Structure 1
Amino acid sequence: MRLVLLLAVLLLARGAVRIPLRRMKSLRHRLEEQGLLEASPNTLPSRVGSKFFSSLTGGVTTEPLENIMDAEYVGAISIGTPPQQFLVLFDTGSSDLWVPSVDCSSPACVGHERFDPRLSATHQATGQPVSIQYGTGSMSGVLAYDTVRVGNIQISNQAISLSKKEPGSFLTHHAFDGILGLAFPSIASSGAVPVFDNMMSQGLVAEDLFSIYLSSKSRTGSFVMLGGMDSSCFSGRLRWIPLSAETYWQIAVDRIIMRGRVVACPRGCQAVVDSGTMLLAGPPRDSRHHPAPHRGLRVSQWPGEGRGRGSMWLGPGQVLPSPVVLPLLLP
């Protein structure tokens, strides 16, 4: 059983571990300083959905997330013994865990924390090459195994990818050092077991469930909770939506409504809920231009109830951003 929960209000569970994060300059400010902000909306989001559309024919820990430019929420993890700390994007749209290595000299690596395997007593090198392609960037490197810590959870022999090349400029401008994928093993580029699956198999979480809260506050207040959910964060009865496929967090959508009008998927369509996507994306035939600010995906019917493997709770009467790649991130 594996479930994801999107929390609607902020109240931390009693006894959950909260890790303070550094306050840092936002992506918006960094791009402004480099004269790149004007170009970003035209150049960065254009391929944001490509990672989907090409293939679409124990315990509880709370990890705080930081809102960067209303576009990414990053949290701290550590890798190795003694631990080396990194800021990662918790991404429900991918399955791999990777961080830059000291062997990477790409500009995107140089500007971020880099993992040094020689400093870790628990590091196991494999020499196996890895290449990971995202909608707006890529990395190539090698697969290794080491101890990973997320909050108060320690995962032994976790597969990690260490980047040696991060071509292009997109990853250079982001606050996160690497990505921690929360999707299913079937789409792991490395072929390795993802972090949360290892937590489940090693009995490190109380429930086979993770939940995400994204705060509307500018910098702090967001968190990801691994191994449970906070019942004080919602009222009413939970409704669980079964997944269409155990790859991404893919669900069936009845229709997409904005301002009371059906604007896409009038006969239903498939959608992916992605915490690592900053925009709304869809196939050209379903894409529409709507002036900001408003948001309006409404799941008008619940495909099913009951809590089985691969279900997702959207919340009673909840409205999410739209359309077919459905970000957990609030625009």
Structure 2
Amino acid sequence: MRPGPTRMAGPQSPPIHAAVFLVFLLSSAVQLGPSKAGPLLAPPCKEGAHPPMILPLFLSYPNSSRTIPDSYHRHLQGSDKPNARMSLHDDLLLRGYYTTRLWIGTPPQKFALIVDTGSTVTYVPCSNCDKCGKHQDPNFQPELSSTYQPVKCNINCNCDNDGVQCVYDRHYAEMSTSSGVLSEDLVSFGNLSELPPQRAVFGCENVETGDLYSQHADGIMGMGRGDLSIMDQLVGKGVISDSFSLCYGGMEIGGGAMVLGGMSPPSDMVFTQSNPMRSPYYNIDLKELHVGGKPLALNPKVFDGKHGSILDSGTTYAYLPDEAFLAFKNAIMKEVQSLKQIHGPDPKYNDICFYGAGSEISQLSSSFPAVEFVFGNGQKLTLSPENYLFRHSKVRGAYCLGIFQNGRDSTTLLGGIVVRNTLVMYDREHSRIGFWKTNCSELWERLHLPSSAAPWVPPTSDKTKNHTNEVTANPSPMPPEVDNPEFQIGQITLDMSSSMNISDLKPRLGELAQFIVHQLDINIIQIHLLGINSMQNGSLIKWAIFPRVPGEYISKSSAKDIISQLSEHRVQLPDSFGSCQFTAWHVESQEKRRRWLKHNVLIVLALAVTFLAGLSVLVAWLLWRWRHHSLNAYKPVGVAIPERELQPL
């Protein structure tokens, strides 16, 4: 299997009294544990149901393999429980993973956590961890939280050597590990959530290795099935229904959303059975693969090996059993014979890449075939090219297969690439998974959700006042124009201060723009430098963010995501740019931008006319000089020059 972003874990052999945390490792070296022991938490409450929770997922820096916004008081359609809503900000193949923002403790300390359906434990680095890497946010400090409690050793957990506190230990397929102590505290889901903070058990890391040590994200948000899963804990308390949804952005526009809790599915959502008894992971009842409308000659049992066909948000690509992969590859090759096959971007891998389909994502469907998943109930999920291709990083307009051969076992592992621009509903209550093709960057508008803000304000205390201001400061509220349906956003202007002096900063403005683009999850063509001025303590830079397509406008969801990241100080820039801070931002209408463009176009035209007029004068003068020089040119010695006759006065 191609090494890369896999966050599916398997426990080491636990002692007889250990609670078994349902996890997975695509390797025969680690086996699944026995059935679960008794729950660590209170049993599920069937009454007093509330609507779903919606939480956003955010962008993180890349690592070798794999965002939470504010929430509004609202109910998703058809839900009778509160919801937690979170936005996703990322490019799956550049970053490798999506993260969401959680706040832990009183007052809350914020963390960027990888959303992982293949893990069951949520954990963050602890303040006493001397074997943890440098991550996006400061380590969790239990001593600063007035609501923190360690989970004491009991019959349902592994205990530390002193027999005092419960511990956890996780090993992942990419050979990274995490271990620490189990703790309990208030967990908050941000201002988009109508669900109030809830007490939950999480891991406080003491040791991390491999990708977990080097990644920018702080830790993992475990969404799998198991007593320690965030989902199981919230469902067990009866505060949300037993369902959650993920929606990843596409190849061209990243972002997306996560919803914790149930909601009414769109009428054309495609469902497949997901049998929790077949595997502890989120499996689907995959029976056939079609390429270009033609079924592959495969026995349906090929998709039912080992753990079956499973979805894992902690994995980037997709992996098929050998027989299915070879049939899929050959079918694709037959369909794209007009394209040129080229070498992949990394010489270490024999990637299958093609050139000649054009650089526009909208053109891919004319060159690459549609792929269909056919489920046991006869329903079909159609995959567009962006669901099985990734961009070649070195050749513009080239694309490579993002589906690989699973050489280790017969499991069909489907990572985030196959569900880009797809709302995936993990309906655990009815043992099914639903798929709905959509634009995930505009999910809320497409679901016709209202947007009246009523943010939850976290508590503060004097002893942690500075720390709280650091993690919860919100100096500029959401501009009211963003929620005005008549207001079309033409641009967002940003004021940014830096402690670097202007002479040192100017040569690096292009590099700085790249980092801002990376963090805000926008395209480099969208950001423009409006000006830079020197200040007493550094520099002031003014940026503008324009729509991706000239003449269009910025969607309300994109604007909210950008402003939420700025107001919550989630934009993390390298220290090499000095101390940077976004000091102000505001939105401007499409009409104002048109006037700005018109004004600038007129200026450019005037300058062009002036330049051309000046150029024509210069050319005329040069021609006159040349002719004058030719008539009075110096003649060599020995050439007779007849004297001119003097004209009478």
Higher normalized helix content (fraction of residues)? 2
Report the TM-score, using the length of structure 1 for normalisation: 0.69
Report percent identity of matched pairs.
Answer: 22
Aligned with residue 200 of structure 2, among 158, 161, 169: 158
CA distance in 2, matches of 1:114, 1:326: 32
Runs (5+) with no aligned partner, structure 1: 1-14, 32-39, 46-57, 186-191, 305-314
CA distance in 2, matches of 1:210, 1:107: 30
Runs (5+) with no aligned partner, structure 2: 1-51, 67-80, 152-164, 330-351, 355-367, 389-402, 405-411, 421-649
Tell me the secondary structure at the aligned position of residue 318 of structure 1: strand
Q: Tell me the equivalent position of 2:103.
A: 78
Tell me the secondary structure at the aligned position of residue 316 of structure 2: coil
User: Deviating runs (4+, > 6 A) in structure 1?
Assistant: 293-297
CA distance in 1, matches of 2:196, 2:270: 30
Tell me the secondary structure at the aligned position of residue 197 of structure 1: helix
Q: Tell me the equivalent position of 1:49.
A: none
Aligned with residue 202 of structure 1, among 237, 258, 267: 237
CA distance in 2, matches of 1:203, 1:97: 19
CA distance in 2, matches of 1:248, 1:154: 28
Report the TM-score, using the length of structure 2 for normalisation: 0.37
Higher normalized strand content (fraction of residues)? 1
TM-aligned CA distance change 1:252 to 1:236, over 3 Å: closer
Give the CA deviation at 1:112.
4.7
Tell me the secondary structure at the aligned position of residue 233 of structure 2: helix
Give the CA deviation at 1:165.
0.8
CA distance in 1, matches of 2:128, 2:253: 32
Query: Counterpart of 1:247 in structure 2: which amino acid?
Result: P
Aligned with residue 413 of structure 2, among 317, 325, 328: 325
TM-aligned CA distance change 1:69 to 1:174, over 3 Å: farther
Aligned with residue 249 of structure 1, among 282, 302, 311: 282
CA distance in 2, matches of 1:287, 1:112: 40
Query: Counterpart of 1:175 in structure 2: which amino acid?
Result: H
Contact 1:100 1:109 in 2 (8 A): no
Q: Tell me the equivalent position of 1:179.
A: 220
Contact 2:135 2:215 in 1 (8 A): no
Q: Tell me the equivalent position of 1:298.
A: 372
TM-aligned CA distance change 1:158 to 1:18, over 3 Å: closer
Aligned with residue 138 of structure 1, among 156, 165, 177: 177
Aligned with residue 87 of structure 2, among 64, 72, 75: 64
TM-aligned CA distance change 1:253 to 1:81, over 3 Å: same
Contact 1:100 1:112 in 2 (8 A): no
Structure whose CA Rg is larger: 2
Give the CA deviation at 1:285.
6.1
Give yes or no for the alignment of 1:148 onto 2:197: no
Q: Tell me the equivalent position of 1:229.
A: 263
CA distance in 2, matches of 1:226, 1:178: 19
Give the CA deviation at 1:18.
6.3
Query: Counterpart of 1:242 in structure 2: which amino acid?
Result: S
Give the CA deviation at 1:172.
3.9
Tell me the secondary structure at the aligned position of residue 200 of structure 1: helix
Structure 1, residues 8-27: CA drift from partner, whole Å, max 9, x if none? xxxxxxx9866695x76x42
Query: Counterpart of 1:102 in structure 2: which amino acid?
Result: S
Tell me the secondary structure at the aligned position of residue 248 of structure 1: coil
Structure 1, residues 33-60: CA drift from partner, whole Å, max 9, x if none? xxxxxxx5xxx59xxxxxxxxxxxx311
Q: Tell me the equivalent position of 1:277.
A: 315
**What value does the CA root-mean-square deviation take over the aligned residues?**
3.4
Q: Tell me the equivalent position of 1:8.
A: none
Give yes or no for the alignment of 1:193 onto 2:232: no
Q: Tell me the equivalent position of 1:309.
A: none
The answer to which structure, 1 or 2, has the higher relative contact order (CA under 8 A, 6+ apart) is: 1
Structure 1, residues 203-250: CA drift from partner, whole Å, max 9, x if none? 222x3211111111667531101113365xx44254342325361102
CA distance in 2, matches of 1:20, 1:73: 6
* Paired residue total: 269
Query: Counterpart of 2:178 in structure 1: which amino acid?
Result: M
